[in-house]
Amino acid sequence: MKAMFRVSGGRWSAVVGKVEPGTFEDPELDLQIKIFCGRVQVMCEGFCPVQKRAAEPSDAQTVLDYVGLFDFTLSDVDLYDLLHLMSVTDTLCQCLHDGGTIPRLCARHGLRPLRERKLRRKPGRPSPLAIQADGLWFLVPPPLAHEAKGELRGGLYR
């Protein structure tokens, strides 16, 4: 799988890539999302907005269910960072599924490309997210998580 984009912030990161239709036993699932906590892969699943909208909240396991399988000690900030990451990742996947590009979506939200840099986490505070796509870096501040949730309710974080 070749990564189409990467989102990272705090202890979390998500890598999204294109997969062959049928990889997840469904021809509609064409994007693969891998979620990491540090260097440990927590989850891997396919993205399909049609199934996501049709699913009942109790139908699928959430990323929090998978995180619970590991012995991670998570603070409230870690959980906020994870929900922020999932919300933004969900929005970016929807954009790709609809035929858009990550740089155009970021520009529409007022995010400008930056130089690559390491994000510093401030203890006890939510982390910004770095989006890496098409050789460009974009920084999403924590308050935009609420906007992203409003744009695509019921994402992978439900």
- Say which residue the tokens 């439900």 belong to: 158
- Predicted pLDDT at 156: 41
Read off the tokens for 59.
């139908």
Q: E strand or H helix at 128, and its extent?
A: none
Contact 131, 5 (CB under 8 A): yes
pLDDT score for 74: 80
| The predicted structure's pLDDT at residue 51 | 54
- Whole-number pLDDT of residue 112: 84
pLDDT at 55: 44
Q: In the chain, how many H helices and how many E strands?
A: 5, 6
* pLDDT score, position 154: 44
- pLDDT score at 139: 87
pLDDT of residue 14: 94
Give every residue of the chain whose pLDDT is below 70, as ranges: 1, 49-62, 116-124, 143-158
The pLDDT tens digits for 92-109 are 998 988 899 999 999 998
The pLDDT of residue 116: 64
Q: According to the model, what pLDDT value does residue 103 have? A: 92
| Rounded percentage of the chain residues whose pLDDT exceeds 70 | 73
In 19-64, beta strands by DSSP E? 31-37, 40-47
Q: What is the pTM of this model?
A: 0.76
Domain limits, the chain = 3-151
